[in-house]
Amino acid sequence: MSNLLEVEGIETVFRTERGEVTSVDGVSFTLKAGETLGIVGESGCGKSVTSLSIMQLLGKTGSIRKGEIRLNGRNITGLAESSMRQIRGSEVSMIFQDPMTSLNPVFTIGNQLMESIMLHLPLTGKAAQDHAIEMLRKVGISRPEEIMNEYPHKLSGGMRQRVMIAIALSCEPKLLIADEPTTALDVTIQAQILDLMKKLREETGTAIMLITHDLGVVAEMADRVIVMYAGQVVEEADVFTLFDKPLHPYTAGLMGSIPHLDGDDEETLASIPGTVPPLQQMPSGCRFHTRCELATEKCAAEAPPLLEQAEGHRVRCWAAQGELDIKSSTLTLLKEVTT
């Protein structure tokens, strides 16, 4: 099966008063039709900027300096805004983190849903309205005819998120980018939203790029997973391999911080010391070495490449690649924090 999306070595930069900073550095991945790709990492690791780079919604200060983004084999990097407007919504749609700020508070749900439909589909008037009502019904909203006339502030968080999904899928895009789609929702609504996304993917064959910090969501939804740190991909594998055998110390640290139902009540969860470095002060060598208990002088001096260790399993780490004498202790540590 050919790739629906190909992201190759993109480098996204932003202009600031202190000069130019690189937010996404050399990120590459592919996504096939009907596949779900999870992108995980702490806040500030470049997950959302990667998605905004694909949508080319970087604002006046952001730009893609290097690399290519290909959709169905077509290079969309640097397309004119008029061309991107035709692609957004019809071929690629995005669900943003906060549905309250994504929906316009002064327009009804019906107006906002029909706007997208009439822009990308040959439907107007009653036909567009009927399609909008049907989309609300598909995402599990009861009384869709009444909801069409409501304003966003009248709806709950879960309802607003369902409306955002209805808008995103109204023109049957080939790719859906979901940026933290369950943030700020209670666990019951989270489960409903995830079930809805899985059902729609099965029915329409839409590929999903799921951005989240919740590894539980990734385990439930994703086919493959990319782990990002400080603007770079540090590990990539299928979801079973990543959870069973993480190779990067950062991935292992994320896994070790997950609470388990059968865990000891008095057991302290593992934590990763320190924080993600600011964009203007990236460390030399491996960007994770300042927080890594396994770091050596080589890690501080030389940046490791992203190499394939097994079929479909790539990692950016000297220890995991067998370049350091501490490989055996690395594997021991990884085993300890993930079991």
List Cβ neighbours of 272 (8 Å cut-off, separation of 6 or more): 250, 253, 254, 257, 291
- pTM exceeds 0.75 for this model: yes
d(CA 309, CA 315): 7
Q: Note the pLDDT of residue 183.
A: 74
Residue 284 C-alpha from the chain's centroid: 26
Structure tokens at 245: 């055998």
Q: Note the pLDDT of residue 99.
A: 67
Q: Note the pLDDT of residue 25.
A: 95
The three-state secondary structure class of 135 is: helix
Neighbours of 54 (CB within 10 A): 22
Q: Note the pLDDT of residue 127.
A: 94
Domain boundaries, the chain: 3-222, 246-338
Q: Note the pLDDT of residue 337.
A: 44
Structure tokens at 318: 């000297």
Closest CA to 98 of 164, 195, 175: 164
Q: Note the pLDDT of residue 267.
A: 66
Q: Note the pLDDT of residue 262.
A: 66
Q: Note the pLDDT of residue 335.
A: 45
Structure tokens at 321: 């690649």
d(CA 209, CA 37): 5
Q: Note the pLDDT of residue 53.
A: 95
Q: Note the pLDDT of residue 339.
A: 44
Alpha-carbon dihedral sign for residues 204, 165, 63, 80: positive
Domain 3-222 has CATH 3.40.50.300: yes
Q: Note the pLDDT of residue 257.
A: 80
Closest CA to 92 of 106, 79, 110: 79
pLDDT (tens, 9 = 90+) of the chain, 339 residues, equals 689 999 999 999 999 888 899 999 999 999 999 999 999 999 889 999 999 999 999 999 999 999 999 999 999 998 999 899 889 988 999 988 776 678 899 999 999 999 989 988 899 999 999 999 999 998 888 899 999 999 999 998 888 988 988 898 888 899 999 998 877 677 887 888 888 888 888 888 899 999 998 888 899 999 999 999 999 999 999 999 999 999 999 999 998 887 766 666 666 777 888 899 988 889 999 999 999 988 999 999 999 999 999 899 999 999 988 765 443 444 444 444 444
Closest CA to 224 of 211, 236, 208, 206: 236
